[in-house]
Amino acid sequence: MIFGGSGFFGMHLCRYLSARPDVGRIVVADLVPPREMRPKVEYVRCDVREPIAVEVFGPPVIYNFAAVHTTPGHADWEYYWTNVRGAIEVCRFADRAGAERINFTSTMGVYGPQEERVDEDTVPRPSTAYGRSKLLAEQTHEDWQKARPGRRLVIIRPAVTFGEGERGNFTRLARLLRRGLFVYPARKDTIKACAPVEQLPACIDFMAQADEPVVRFIYAYPERTTTEAINCAFAQAAGFRPPAIVVPEGMIMATAVVFELINRLGIRTSINRARVRKLIQSTNVYPAELERRGWRFSLSLPEALANWKKASDFQ
């Protein structure tokens, strides 16, 4: 069962699971239908903020991807209402259904922005309502795991994850690079941990093989990836011209204020100071658990971007 399975992660997980001969039924539980239908996939409308009544035949393996995650973009309470309340209801359903395994996607946002490298042993210090709500949701799933012997929990803390169907940071970057409009906000060396979505399902499977009550891992390339390195990878994969202009922080923040005023006049724009601040701050997370357990990415950053361009031209 994939709660929130109609989204970006869910689409790729359905592709992966539908090809496996040991998987007989895939239930996508979401408020909207899946982006694409695959063999073995069934869709049920489900709001995880309400008691969940879905018929199952035997204990299911649960993936909980359901979340309000766009930041900025929501009032603080909305993150808690969906991410924490949803975790409570999914865990209650898991109890009733006799599930023994949950795979839960959290976020690297539990660490907050970090210039110094952090890993799974670093004490989380979220700085946003999204990060705080996800950390509380992690604890809710851990309470479920501890309630009965034999239960297993995998917590994934993804970095910026890109690929076909992403519709987020990398998609916006590709559009700007294609038009030659991207400029570096304040600096070129901002660290932006990232990883390709197409390898995420296999990575979860790999980490779930461990016979441990709780496995927690960061999903990111181990290499130090800067905004300049990401732009160079796009250039290598798609032939975009690498940007060269660095705009001082004061100037770009002043421009963001202008766009905020335009937004108040009813002309919708995604540019604001909070989003610019995110571009300037590093997310320097390191996948120590993946490295320790021997997981290796088979696709480099340029190779993964080239696959995405071939599949959907960065859509």
- Asked whether residue 180 is domain-assigned, the answer is no
Predicted confidence at residue 263, as pLDDT, reads 81
Domain-embedded: residue 243: no
In-domain check, residue 265: no
Q: Which of 71-80, 108-117, 257-266 has the lowest mean pLDDT?
A: 257-266
Average pLDDT over residues 281-309: 97
Sheet holding 26-30, edge to edge: 41-45, 26-30, 2-3, 61-64, 101-105, 152-158, 214-219
Residue 139: give its domain's CATH number. Answer: 3.40.50.720
pLDDT tens per residue, range 192-248: 999 999 999 999 999 999 989 999 999 999 999 999 999 999 999 999 999 999 988
- Whether 106 is covered by a domain: the verdict is yes
Is residue 97 a contact partner of residue 39, using CB atoms and an 8 Å limit? no
Domain hosting residue 120, numbered range: 2-167+194-222+284-299
Q: Decide if 156 is inside a domain.
A: yes
Q: Is the pLDDT of residue 291 over 70?
A: yes
Q: Is residue 259, in this structure, part of any structural domain at all?
A: no
The number of distinct structural domains making up the chain is 1
Whether the predicted pLDDT of 110 surpasses 90: yes
236 belongs to a structural domain: no
The predicted model scores a pTM of 0.94
Per DSSP, the chain holds a count of helices (H) and strands (E) of 10, 13
Average pLDDT over residues 117-124: 97
Identify the helix (H) or strand (E) that includes residue 262: helix 249-264
- Cα 129 to Cα 41, 76, 283, distances in angstroms: 33, 5, 17
Task: Please name the amino acid found at residue 149.
Answer: P
Question: Does residue 147 fall inside a structural domain?
Answer: yes
Q: What share of the chain is helix, strand, coil (3-state, %, to 5)?
A: 40, 15, 40
Q: Answer whether residue 252 shows pLDDT above 80.
A: yes
Backbone φ/ψ region at 118: left (φ over 0), alpha (ψ -120 to 50), beta: beta
Residue-averaged pLDDT of the chain: 94
* Residue 272, pLDDT above cutoff 90: no
